[in-house]
Amino acid sequence: MSVPEELYYTAEHEWVAISDATARVGITDFAQRALGDVVYVTAPAQGTRVTAGEPCGEVESTKSVSDIYCPADGEVTEINPEIDDDPGLVNSDPYGAGWLFKIKLDGGDQLPPGLLSPAEYTALTAEQQ
Amino acid sequence: MPDPQSPAPRRTPLDAVHHDLGATMTDFAGWLMPLRYGSETAEHKAVRTAAGLFDLSHMGELVVTGDGAPAALDYALVGQASAIAPGRARYTMICAPDGGVIDDLIVYRLADTDYLVVANASNAATVAAALAERVAGRGAAVADRTADYALIAIQGPRSAGILARVTSTDLDQVRYYASYPATVAGSGALLARTGYTGEDGFEVFADPRDAVRVWQALTEAGAGDGLVPAGLAARDSLRLEAGMPLYGNELGRDVTPFDAGLGRVVKLDKPGDFVGRAALAERASADPQRELVGLIGQTRRVLRHGYQVLWDGEPCGVVTSGVPSPTLGRPIAMAYLTPKAAAQARSAGNGQGRLAVDVRGSAEPAALVPLPFYRRPAGN
């Protein structure tokens, strides 16, 4: 299972890449493996105000549906235009082409509170396996 | 998360093989089973176009023997076991006195007074107990032999060609719903042309000690033909496309065979009494209370078990099973509707524009379609 060193994580299995006061968000390799083939993603619409820890979308796989929890406070500035046509990108490239949406962070360049380091997230998933 | 109250799940004789293949395992009816090995959609498509290999060792194998076995099973089941020719098999059910389905079964008549009853894993103990009670005093005995059988299925249009490489049995002579004692990969086994995928295919009942060898031999024999291991997720989407019911979804104690559109398995014309006869005879001539139908979702939202079906916004039924269909590329579902809603939908453009499924608060339009969703092409 892959847990890239340059990302932050949530306990609900989202990953976050932060640069220029913007967070790019997706679901982790652990999450996509647990879900199985992703068939549909509901991401928050562009312009939506989102709150850390609140559900803000859904990932549907063949066998289940899971909430996406927002990792930080802010405003959605972009959703991945490729995901609607090819939700399987979440499985094939969860940290790359399978990203879901971007948030302009309320906290600017400050690291949003409550995120997990790669080591913390790895420990969390080891418990859940 | 494992439930601390439940005992550790049973493992099949192929557990180490699944581990080596990197399978995602799941607790199913008290067994640790492969859910998928990689992409369940790819496994599904492989079974439709080439072949898939399944571990079904969790299924219950109950052996009924004795001079009285044919008549005793006629009493215990809704089908006529005494009319099955030795070497053939039938799909049937065991019902409660009120007509509710205890389980759906495949009954193989191995010899004149020797039957193999294959039950769902979740019901095996219940069926064994009900059979033992029903055949008592009728010259037959029931033994739960689940632990003595590994069950490996090979399913798909290329399954006969692959299997032929590891058995000397002439597969052209093994008809659909027939079984033969055979040698598979050097091991004695019972070979049956049965399955739960809508494709041609075979099921191999083998000694658990031979299971790994049979699995590996089939894997090697199919390597050039696109054979892949397939898990329970693909099995579920395959059976649903083929319109086959699943116990716990379409079938249950509160459902009669007639509700599920399977009244044909109830042999009311067989001689003698059988458990459930009076209730089922009444049910056969009464107006149906509900109807099992097929639905195709008009959006990409998946229609899932337990979701309400709506007619003009009002509840008219419930989804029993649903998946995104890999073959159709659309969400498919089976659902119980009120007979009125089903009839209205048929007479009004299959319900388009009026029929919907409540997907977590959003009414997603659906159309009613005849079952099954998929039939294999002629010649496969």
B322 neighbors B331 (Cβ within 8 angstroms) = yes
Closest alpha carbon to A14 in A123, A121, A127: A121
Quickly state the pLDDT bin for B344 (edges 50, 70, 90): very high
In this structure, what token pair is assigned to residue B57? 């060792």
Report which DSSP code applies to B127: H
Residues of A within 8 A of B233 (CB-CB) are: 36, 62-63
Distance from CA of A40 to the nearest CA of B (A): 7
pLDDT for B378 equals: 81
Interface confidence (ipTM) of the complex: 0.83
| B94/B75 Cα distance (integer angstroms) | 10
Rounded Cα distance, B78 and A8, in Å: 59
Side chain identity at residue B11, one-letter code: R
Examine the pLDDT at B363 and tell me if it is beyond 80. yes
Tell me how far apart the alpha carbons of residues B243 and B198 are, in angstroms, rounded to a whole number: 8
Q: Parallel, antiparallel, or unpaired: how do β-strands B291-297 and B187-192 relate?
A: unpaired
Predicted confidence (pLDDT) per residue in B21-45, tens digit: 999 999 999 999 999 999 999 999 9
State the pairing for strand pair B291-297/B24-28.
Answer: unpaired
Provide the shortest C-alpha distance from residue A34 to chain B (in Å): 8
Q: Where are the alpha helices (DSSP H) in chain B?
A: 15-20, 40-49, 69-76, 124-135, 159-163, 211-221, 232-241, 277-285, 339-347
How do residues B159-181 score in pLDDT, each as one tens digit? 999 999 999 999 998 999 999 99
- pLDDT reported for residue B2: 47
Residue B361: phi, psi to the nearest 5? 95, -10
pLDDT at res. B4:
54
Residue B351 confidence class, pLDDT cut points 50, 70, 90: confident
Q: Which of A9-18, A24-33, B342-351 has the lowest mean pLDDT?
A: B342-351
Would you call B122 an interface residue with chain A, using a CB distance cutoff of 8 Å?
A: no
Of A34, A60, A128, the CB nearest to B302: A60
Burial of B137 (C-beta count, 10 Å sphere; 0-12/13-18/19+): exposed
Helix (H), strand (E), coil (C) string for B60-77: EEEEEECCCHHHHHHHHC
Residues A36, B237: C-beta atoms closer than 8 Å: no
Q: Do B40 and A65 touch (CB under 8 A)?
A: no
Is the previous residue joined to B365 through a cis bond, with omega within 30 degrees of 0?
no
For A116, phi then psi, to 5°, come to: -100, 145
Nearest CA in chain A to B25: A34
- Chain A, 38-67: which have a CB under 8 Å from a chain B CB? 39-40, 60, 62-63, 65
Mean pLDDT, chain A, rounded, equals: 95
Q: Which residues of B touch A91 (CB under 8 A)?
A: 39
Whole-angstrom Cα distance, residue A19 to residue B144?
63
Residue with tokens 């379609």: B369
A86 in contact with B at a CB cutoff of 8 Å? no
Average pLDDT on A50-71 reads: 94
* End-to-end C-alpha distance for chain A, whole angstroms: 11
Distance of CA B221 to the CA centre of its chain: 26
Q: What is the largest CA-CA distance in chain A?
A: 38
Using alpha carbons, select from B209, B195, B111 the residue that is nearest to residue B160: B195
Q: Please list every residue in chain A whose beta carbon sits closer than 8 Å to the beta carbon of residue B36.
A: 36
> Could you tell me which of B335, B336, B332 has the C-alpha nearest to residue B322?
B332
- Tokens 């039957």: give the residue: B115
Mean pLDDT of B260-285: 96
Task: Work out the average pLDDT over B237-266.
Answer: 97
- Which pLDDT score is estimated for B1? 44
Mean pLDDT of chain B: 96
Query: Which distant-in-sequence residues (6+ apart) come within 8 Å of B301 by Cβ?
Result: A40, A60, B331, B359, B362, B364
Q: Tell me whether residues B40 and A40 touch, CB distance under 8 A.
A: no
Question: For residues B227 and B220, is the Cβ–Cβ distance under 8 A?
Answer: no
* pLDDT level of residue B380 (50, 70, 90 thresholds): low
Query: What residues of chain B lie within 8 A of the CB of A36, using their CB?
Result: 24, 35-36, 39-40, 233
Query: E-assigned strands of B284-330?
Result: 291-297, 308-311, 314-324
d(CA B365, CA B350): 11
Count of residues for chain B?
380
Does position A40 have pLDDT exceeding 50, yes or no? yes
Residue B367 near residue B296 (C-beta atoms within 8 A): yes
